[in-house]
Amino acid sequence: MEIEKSVLERAQFWLGNNFDEETRNEVKRLIDTNTTELTDSFYRDLEFGTGGLRGIMGVGTNRMNKYTVGMATQGLANYLKMMFPGLNPVKMAISHDSRNNSPFFARIVAEVLSANGFKVYLFEDLRPTPELSFAIRHLGCQSGVMVTASHNPKEYNGYKAYWDDGAQMIAPHDENVIREVQKITSVDKVKWNGIPENIISIGSEIDKLYLDRIAALSLSPDAIIRQKNLKIVYTPLHGCGRQLVPDILARFGFENIHMVKEQAIADGNFPTVKSPNPEEHDALDMAIRLAEEIHADLVMATDPDADRVGIAIRNHRNEMILMNGNQTAALLFYYMLNRWQALGKLTGNEFIVSTIVTTHLLSEIAASFGVEYFECLTGFKFIADVIRQQEGKKTFILGGEESYGYLIGDFVRDKDAISACAMIAETAAWMADQGKTLFDLLMEIYLKYGLYKEGLISVTRKGKSGAEEIQQMMVNYRQTPPAEIHNSKVIMIRDYQLSVEKSLGTGQERPIHQPKSNVLQFILEDGSIISVRPSGTEPKIKFYFGVREQLGSPADFETVSAKLGNKIAGIISSMKLN
């Protein structure tokens, strides 16, 4: 296969003396031996997507390496100088997770920023994403960088860029940073020589302040005192949660915490799991085995940068079962609104936030407590944007999304598995204090609001050709949308790219008041909802399915759940996705 001219030109540029010998040798090897990998490494520049800069580590413009990290950081620095022209110095906070090369990339970011005259607060060791968000706000920084690829496989690393409110960048800032990065056409434009006195090491003092704020969130301290021996298994999956999650659980009052020792070691190779993703069942296998050995009540697992959490609970047959992100969100939202109401904290001016692909059960829960519900695009940066817009007007209680991310309180502006673990454990203690379990609470929710069931299919298409195929799929859905899916008419289409909601029965169109995003939703006559969205951080296109039916009694749960599962399977088959 012939190498595209533009790809070859990009690669040959990296053979210059501006790049180190190791890099030049690897680029030469790719040119000589591996056309596909060469193309994937150089066909484009890494871009800021929904999760910032993220990619496979290696040489090339489309890879995470010291040059792409340095050039991105210089572009970011140039943009911040433009946005804060009267501020000297501009302040930044930087953290990293346990991934391979994360400390190295974090140091490069710090040195480039310090060379640009910035005051840089660099965490002394790995720290969770939410603590980085907290530090930005606490230290009065204008921006921040978290070096992580979240739950991606070990080959990946990434770079989340934050704004001065502690939230990930959204438009126009993310797009403007991309433009500034694109102006860095040579590594010679990067200020590589760091100024040591501009880099300040931070650590335990921020830990304490952050944990103090989480501890203040507790709503049922008396229940925890009585249920302090609730048996909890926790695994950090070789990542950042290994210290702070046990610390905050102890601060809340829990005394029976068991860590999966093999996974408490920070290791970017993630040797005990196929993928360090708490959404995947395999990632919790070791924790569940430990829970069965010691007869634990609750299992919790956080991803490498400790912003997402997956849990397992015991059902009515005393079996450990995994909760999906929607179910955990329902437990948290129902518990917190229930307790806020019981404690007289609800004044009618509170709100919660979720995303367009998360279960609609959350909006039903909010309505029943008289709490305003805001819906936003997928990605926690949009949840943070709603919090920003309502700041000083309404009181934020919590936000969450189906992909296992939750935020309680507004002192952090990204999903926070540290506080979520504490509140999930508190919810379990609150139920145990009533002689009940989290599964009992889930049944209570389903009996009250209906059994909501969701499904997700991710179709992966790697490389340049894969990205093109994914885009063509979206074009096809727009040009020839389905009239019927699984024997149910499509009655409405929401196109977030065109910002239009169209009724297929009447032809009536209404505007969608959200930022433009390449997302389509098909609403069926039977109430089912199908959402289609290319991932902003991975080479995938995602299909989300939501169905619902009334639940008469807990005894009917498995039958009704299986029926809804078959319905989702039928929709998937009808759309030819299996």
CB within 8 Å of 550: residues ≥ 6 apart = 450, 451
Q: Which sequence spans correspond to the domains of the chain?
A: 44-208, 451-574
CA 535 from centroid of its chain's CA atoms: 12
Is 150 in the active site?
A: yes
pLDDT digits (tens, 9 = 90+) for 345-377: 999 999 999 999 999 999 999 999 999 999 999
Q: How far apart are CA 168 and CA 379, in angstroms?
A: 9
Instruction: At 498, list the tokens.
Output: 């065109």
Instruction: Write out 495-538 in H/E/C secondary structure.
Output: ECCCCEEEECCCCCEEECCCCCCCCEEEEECCCCEEEEEECCCC
Beta strands across the sheet bearing 257-259:
257-259, 232-235, 298-302, 309-314, 320-322
Residue 292 identity (one-letter amino acid): E
Q: Is residue 41 scored above 70 in pLDDT?
A: yes
Mean pLDDT of 245-254: 98
Given a contact cutoff of 8 angstroms between Cβ atoms, the answer to whether 456 and 257 are in contact is no
Instruction: At 357, list the tokens.
Output: 């692909």
E strand or H helix that includes residue 93: strand 91-96
Q: What's the pLDDT score for residue 536?
A: 65
Q: Is residue 48 scored above 70 in pLDDT?
A: no
pLDDT digits (tens, 9 = 90+) for 508-550: 999 999 999 999 999 999 999 999 999 766 678 999 999 999 9
Nearest to 126 by CA among 91, 151, 100: 100
Q: What is the DSSP string of 12-26?
A: HHTTSTTS-HHHHHH
CB within 8 Å of 572: residues ≥ 6 apart = 455, 457, 543, 545, 578
pLDDT digits (tens, 9 = 90+) for 282-309: 999 999 999 999 999 999 999 999 999 9
Mean pLDDT of 188-203: 97
Choice among 30-34, 89-93, 218-222 with the minimum mean pLDDT? 30-34
**Architecture of domain 451-574 in this structure:** 2-Layer Sandwich (3.30)
Model confidence band, residue 450 (pLDDT cutoffs 50, 70, 90): very high
Comparison of pLDDT for 537 and 331, the residue scoring more:
331
The distance in angstroms from the start CA to the end CA of the chain is 31
Q: What's the pLDDT score for residue 178?
A: 82
Q: How far apart are CA 420 and CA 404, in angstroms?
A: 10
Q: What's the pLDDT score for residue 46?
A: 78
Mean pLDDT of the chain: 95
Q: What is the CATH number of domain 44-208?
A: 3.40.120.10
Nearest to 104 by CA among 54, 136, 64: 64
CA 455 from centroid of its chain's CA atoms: 18
Q: Is residue 410 scored above 60 in pLDDT?
A: yes
Model confidence band, residue 111 (pLDDT cutoffs 50, 70, 90): very high
Model confidence band, residue 49 (pLDDT cutoffs 50, 70, 90): low
Q: What's the pLDDT score for residue 429?
A: 98
Query: Percentage of the chain surpassing pLDDT 90?
Result: 87
pTM: 0.94
Q: What's the pLDDT score for residue 533?
A: 94
User: How many Cα atoms are found within 13 Å in the side-chain-facing hemisphere of 538?
Assistant: 14
Given a contact cutoff of 8 angstroms between Cβ atoms, the answer to whether 381 and 170 are in contact is yes
pLDDT digits (tens, 9 = 90+) for 123-174: 999 999 999 999 999 999 999 999 999 888 899 999 899 999 999 998 889 8
pLDDT digits (tens, 9 = 90+) for 52-72: 688 999 999 999 999 999 999
Q: What's the pLDDT score for residue 523?
A: 97
- Per DSSP, 279 falls in state T
Say which of 150, 354, 488, 531 is annotated catalytic: 150
Instruction: At 147, list the tokens.
Output: 């070096």
